[in-house]
Amino acid sequence: MPARRSIDLQGASTYFSAMAKLEIITLPDPKLRQVSAPIERVDDELRKLADDMLETMYDAPGVGLAAVQVGILKRLIVLDTAKEEEPPSPLVMINPEIRHLGSEMRTYEEGCLSIPEVRVDIERPADIVVGYIDKDGKPQELKADGLLATAVQHEVDHLNGRLIIDFLSRLKRDMVVKRFKKQAKGDVEA
């Protein structure tokens, strides 16, 4: 029987059942435009938030999630770019900082959990070097390429108040924002 892709592949269901799925905020929430604050201390509360964010990201489903997307203005991102046939490979980055951008560019169609059903072709450096602090509070440096490089850049943009629609022309961006504002009003009235 083939293994199903799930978070508790190795019988860790007790650990993961303690996690909570968080609400992902969407456009036009103004928090998405704010710059997230650096994290001063890595503790159990922060590790729990990272775990909850991972569960939320997997459930959505997505390949990355920034803390601001769950309404927390802290510099924390979670990612997992493993392909479906591969085991999960979660990555937690605290205070991520892109230290080097490669010169070769790559265009990737990006989506965003905070802007559902919108996809934008974005050209970004194909490889990067990112420094961050891991869940144990240890400084790390990672050279990333392909989808992981794209995902890290996308999530770091979130920490800086930048969204995928910022890569669109002003007209297209305004149309997307208008649509989401209209939907938000409809949700309130319903």
Q: Which of 97, 110, 141, 155 is catalytic?
A: 155
Q: Kindly report the CA angle at 69 between 24 and 21, in degrees rounded to 5?
A: 40
3-state secondary structure of 104: coil
Q: Catalytic residue at 141? A: no
Q: In 127-165, which positions are buried (b, 16+ CB within 10 angstroms) versus exposed (e)?
A: bbbbebbeeeeeeeebebeebbbbbbbbbbbbbebbbbb
Q: Give the side-chain half-sphere CA count within 13 A for 30.
A: 0
| DSSP state letter for 4 | P
Work out whether the CA dihedral 169, 171, 176, 178 comes out positive or negative: positive
How far apart (Å, rounded) are the C-alpha atoms in residues 165 and 189? 26
Active site residues: 155
